[in-house]
Amino acid sequence: MRSGQGPAGQAPAAGPAGRDGLVDGIRGLALCGVVVVNTLSFPHVFSSPVGVVEPVDSLLALLVQAFCVVLFQAKSYPLLMFLVGYGWAMRTRRAGRNPPAAVFTARRRQMLRQWGLGFLHGLFIYCGDILSWLAVLGLLLLGTSRWRLRRLRLHCAAWALLWLVVGTTTFAAMLFVSAELPVSPHWLTRASTWPEVFELNRMGYASYFYQLPWQLPMMLAMGTFGMLAGRLRLLERARSGARLWSFGARWLLPAGLAVNLALAGWRVAIHPGGDVTPIDFATQFTGPLLAAGAVCALVRAWHAGGARWMGLFAPLGRMTMSFYVAHTLACTALFAGPAGALGPAFGSAGLFAFGLAYWFAAVLLARAWLAWAGRGPLESFVRGADGATLRASRRNTIT
């Protein structure tokens, strides 16, 4: 099957030559988990990733939190990290007549632009920024396209082992030394002025640097694995990854679902509030398990002639950055204290519904926007002038 073709050799959603509809579709689908979880946590700085149960005595609110722990929390971020590596592998092997040095230079400039955008976004709009993290990963993976496969495998295994060791140690410390971290009384909805909102964001964004000991190994493990998979074309070739997809669909998917169900039940039964608990940290390990199984099932169905609906998400997958920032701007206008402070009024169920509705609207709007403008506004900014000289920059990238 040639790259860029969909199931049974049929072309997926319209897009520029050289883009893969399945990879774009997975990226667009991953954005759903990002916007839903971010919506739940947005009104509450320093809370659990799935926010605060509101009202606290509502069965519906508890079920919403449990549902998000099972299907959304910690699934999309590692998947996007994997796609950073996979997209870079696609880009380097499709560079065409462009000199490798020029492609590397263009990529570096684009990642630096994205990092700058993410840094400002994290400081002033949403402290849980993913743009800067993915840009850092993109910079760290620049040289891996020249590595031999054996070296990629060794590095992937080493980073995964370090991630497991550091993460397990942190989980044990949270579980046995302190069961929970105190919730900050400074919620975004209670901020009275914009300077106070910005200060809370700066504090929240700075706190993410304390996660580097386990966040960086996770990023490099997932990104290097994506680079390795991209070099082997595991998502694009129907035969290359058939056994891996079957294993993931048959074993990883049910195992990941079961362990995430157990964690969701644990959280709801033991501590349904907004504190950061060991359960939240445990999902950082179980989330990738479920995400990997789900992707394996989707890829297998895609190449078997099914999952044509994945093509609906491909346009969104080409402009996830623009819709991600638009989402945090909308949340700021609704939930920050000086704006609307509507988080408590929405409640957990309302916040969940808003996040899901935003994603559905983005799926529809992305197709119309691309038909009109060709690419998203922030994607155009990150691409910069390099896109005019390198045709390869139109290929799949992390944006």
Under DSSP, the state recorded for 250 is I
Which pTM does this prediction carry? Answer: 0.89
Question: What pLDDT is attached to residue 399?
Answer: 39
Share of the chain above pLDDT 70, in %: 87
Tokens coding 176: 């046995």
**What is the rounded CA–CA span in Å between residue 226 and residue 130?**
17
Q: Which of 23-27, 95-99, 292-296 is the least confident region? A: 95-99
pLDDT category, 383, cuts 50, 70, 90?
confident
Phi, psi (5° rounding) for residue 267?
A: -65, -45
Q: Which of 184, 183, 181 is nearest to 199 (CA)?
A: 184
Q: Has residue 21 got a pLDDT over 90? A: no
Give 215 or 44, the one with higher predicted confidence.
215
**What is the rounded CA–CA span in Å between residue 319 and residue 203?**
29
Through-space distance between the first and last CA atoms of the chain, rounded to whole angstroms: 24
pLDDT digits (tens, 9 = 90+) for 218-244: 999 999 999 999 999 999 887 878 888
Question: What pLDDT is attached to residue 274?
Answer: 66
21, with CB counted inside 10 A (0-12, 13-18, 19+), is buried
Rg of the chain (C-alpha set): 20
pLDDT category, 102, cuts 50, 70, 90?
confident
Helix spans in 75-180 (H): 76-93, 100-124, 131-140, 149-176
Question: What pLDDT is attached to residue 241?
Answer: 81
When pLDDT is averaged across residues 259-285 and rounded to a whole number, the result is 82
Q: Give the number of other Cβ atoms within 10 Å of residue 156's Cβ.
A: 22
pLDDT digits (tens, 9 = 90+) for 123-158: 888 888 899 999 999 999 998 988 999 999 999 999
Q: Which of 19, 8, 1 is nearest to 315 (CA)?
A: 19
In this structure, the dihedral spanned by the alpha carbons of residues 94, 98, 99 and 102, taken in order and rounded to 10 degrees, is -100
Among 16-30, 91-105, 132-146, the range with the most confident prediction by mean pLDDT is 132-146
Contact 382, 321 (CB under 8 A): yes
Residues counted in the chain: 399
255, with CB counted inside 10 A (0-12, 13-18, 19+), is middle
Phi, psi (5° rounding) for residue 23?
A: -65, -45
Contact 89, 156 (CB under 8 A): no
Q: Across all residues in the chain, what is the average pLDDT?
A: 84
User: For every residue of 293-335, which 3-state class applies, written as one string?
Assistant: HHHHHHHHHHHCCCCHHHHHHHHHHCCHHHHHHHHHHHHHHHH
Query: Residue 181's beta-bridge partner residues?
Result: 276
Domain boundaries, the chain: 7-394
Q: Which of 101-105, 106-110, 135-139, 371-375 is the least confident region? A: 101-105
Question: What pLDDT is attached to residue 336?
Answer: 84
Share of the chain above pLDDT 90, in %: 48
Tokens coding 261: 């169900």
**Torsion region of 79: left, alpha or beta (phi above 0 gives left; psi -120 to 50 gives alpha):** alpha
Q: Has residue 94 got a pLDDT over 70? A: yes
Amino acid at 335: F
pLDDT category, 15, cuts 50, 70, 90?
very low
Contact 162, 224 (CB under 8 A): no
Q: Which of 375, 343, 263 is nearest to 61 (CA)?
A: 343
Under DSSP, the state recorded for 15 is -
Amino acid at 323: F
pLDDT digits (tens, 9 = 90+) for 26-55: 999 999 999 999 999 888 776 778 888 888
Contact 135, 114 (CB under 8 A): yes
Q: Could you tell me the maximum CA-CA distance found in the chain, to the nearest angstrom?
A: 62
Question: What pLDDT is attached to residue 276?
Answer: 72
Q: Give the number of other Cβ atoms within 10 Å of residue 305's Cβ.
A: 12
**What is the rounded CA–CA span in Å between residue 398 and residue 392?**
13
372, with CB counted inside 10 A (0-12, 13-18, 19+), is exposed
When pLDDT is averaged across residues 349-353 and rounded to a whole number, the result is 94
Q: Has residue 316 got a pLDDT over 70? A: yes
